């Protein structure tokens, strides 16, 4: 079964807009777990404009599900991950001031540095995942780093889904099959939603995990957090592909 990891960055963004501790990021994460999600994702950035390094430290001993920390592997980030020792670290090629992730690693160009970072985290017993575009070549070079998983950047799928789900999924399915043949675990994330998630998950039944934040938190404004988490879980459990 594909696991749902909820990215809580947007909850922290709302809290930071007014200061104080409302909404409570820690309580929200624990409630999301209680509502059935199988993981919590955070993406601390250098300016701490949403999740703060201290949030990461506070969350780590309290979570009972998988903890995934994603981010650019700067030295400060790497030290935080080694201190906290989450279940998984997802390496993304974000510039420090980047608004949101908008592309995957060129794993061929950055093979040497990614191999070094993956090895560093393995020494601390942390599973690694590398954020890539849906290109088999990127999966092939990611596998050479020693990483256990890759995460497919799914914004292009989400954008094309409304025009043609079959065409939208095609490069992702091709890359997913390449990952499977290479022995890589497979995650996915970015702009997955209640509208497009079920089709994606059904097309790639060996998908390990999806990480969803922005769309899920937006839906929760209308549906409530518990109902929203349950609906995303239902998308991952459905056996019928709809177009």
Quick: pLDDT tens for 118-135: 999 999 999 999 999 999
Q: Does 243 have pLDDT greater than 80?
A: no
Mean pLDDT of 5-23: 96
pLDDT: is 243 or 82 the higher one?
82
pLDDT: is 195 or 103 the higher one?
195
pTM (2 decimals)?
0.94
Mean pLDDT of 172-190: 98
Residue 238: the pLDDT is 72
The pLDDT tens digits of the residues spanning 18-65 come to: 999 999 999 999 999 999 999 999 999 999 999 999 999 999 999 999
Q: Does 99 have pLDDT greater than 70?
A: no
Contact 50, 29 (CB under 8 A): no
Q: Does 241 have pLDDT greater than 80?
A: no
Looking at the annotation, which residues are catalytic?
43, 70, 190
Q: Does 101 have pLDDT greater than 90?
A: no
Share of the chain above pLDDT 70, in %: 95
Q: Does 87 have pLDDT greater than 50?
A: yes
The pLDDT tens digits of the residues spanning 143-160 come to: 999 999 999 999 999 999
Q: How far apart are CA 162 and CA 69, in angstroms?
A: 30
């Amino acid at each position: 079964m594909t696991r749902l990891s909820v990215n809580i960055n947007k909850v922290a963004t709302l809290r930071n807009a007014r200061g104080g501790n409302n909404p409570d990021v820690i309580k929200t994460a624990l409630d999301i777990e209680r509502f059935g999600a199988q993981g919590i994702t955070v993406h601390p950035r250098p300016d701490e404009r949403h999740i703060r390094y201290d949030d990461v430290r506070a969350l780590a001993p309290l979570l009972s599900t998988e903890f995934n920390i994603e981010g650019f592997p700067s030295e400060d980030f790497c030290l935080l991950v080694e201190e906290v020792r989450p279940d998984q670290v997802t390496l993304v090629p974000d510039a420090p001031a980047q608004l949101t992730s908008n592309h995957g690693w060129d794993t061929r160009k950055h093979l040497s540095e990614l191999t070094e970072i993956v090895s560093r985290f393995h020494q601390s017993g942390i599973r690694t995942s590398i954020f890539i575009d849906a290109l088999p070549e990127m999966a092939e070079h990611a596998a050479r780093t020693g990483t256990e998983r890759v995460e497919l950047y799914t914004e292009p799928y989400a954008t094309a889904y409304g025009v043609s789900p079959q065409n939208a999924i095609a490069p992702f399915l091709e890359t997913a099959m390449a990952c499977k043949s290479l022995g890589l675990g497979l995650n996915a994330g970015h702009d997955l939603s209640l509208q497009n998630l079920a089709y994606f998950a059904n097309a790639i039944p060996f998908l390990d995990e999806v990480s969803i934040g922005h769309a899920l938190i937006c839906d929760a404004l209308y549906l409530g957090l518990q109902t929203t988490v349950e609906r995303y879980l239902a998308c991952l459990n459905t056996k019928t592909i709809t177009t």
